[in-house]
Amino acid sequence: MNINLTMIGQAIAFFIFVVFCMKYVWPPVMDALRERQKKIADGLDAADRASRDLELAQEKAARELRQAKQQAAEIIEQANKRSNQIVEEAKDLARVEGERLLSAAKAEIDQETNRVKETLRSEIARIAIAGAEKILEASVDENAHSEMLNKLAAEF
C-alpha cells in the first residue's frame, strides 16, 4: 500500500499506450469502419435505386402493353369498318353493273323485236301481194296498188 515511484511509472506507461493507440490503432480501425459504412450505405442506395428503376420499368411496360392492345383493337375495328365498306361498295357496283347489263339486254331485245317486226311486216306485205296476185290474177297493177298495201301492212 506504499505510494511510490510505481505510480509515475504507471502514468508514463499509460501515456505511451494512449499515444500509441491514438496514432496506430484508432485511425486505421475507424477509417476501415467508416469506409465500410459508406460502402454499405452506397450498396443499399444502389439497391433502392435499382428497385425503383425496376418498378418504373414495370409500370412503363404495362403502360405500353395497354397502349399496344388499344392500338390493336383500333386497327381491328378500322379493318372491320373498311371491309364492310368494301363489301358495300362491291354490292353497289354489282347492282349498277347488273342494271346496266339488264338495260343493255332489254335494248337489244327491243332492237331485235323491231327488226323482226320490220322483217315480218315486209314479209306480210309481200305475202299479201302474192296472195292478191293469185286471187286477182294480174287484175291488179302491182305498181298501182303496192302503196295501198304498204299502208295496210303498217297497220299491223
Smallest distance from the beta carbon of 9 to another protein, in angstroms? 5
Residue 93 C-alpha from the chain's centroid: 24
Q: Write down the H helix ranges in the chain.
A: 6-20, 26-136, 142-154
With CB under 8 A, what is the number of residues at the site for another protein?
31
- The span of 8-16, 46-54, 63-71, 101-109 binding another protein (CB under 8 A) equals 8-16
Q: Does 45 contact another protein by CB under 8 A?
A: no
Cβ at position 44, least distance to another protein in Å: 15
Interior/surface letters 91-126, b for 16+ CB within 10 angstroms, e for the rest: eeeeeeeeeeeeeeeeeeeeeeeeeeeeeeeeeebe
3-state secondary structure of 2: coil
State the binding string over 12-41 for another protein (x if CB under 8 A, else -): -xxx-xx-xxx-xxx-xxxxxx-xx--x--
Residue 42 CB, shortest distance to another protein, in Å, is 11
Best CA proximity match to 148, nearest among 138, 140, 115: 140
Distance CA 103, CA 111 (A): 12
57 in contact with another protein (CB under 8 A): no
Among residues 39 and 81, whose Cβ is nearest to another protein?
39
Where does this chain bind another protein (CB under 8 A)? 1-11, 13-15, 17-18, 20-22, 24-26, 28-33, 35-36, 39
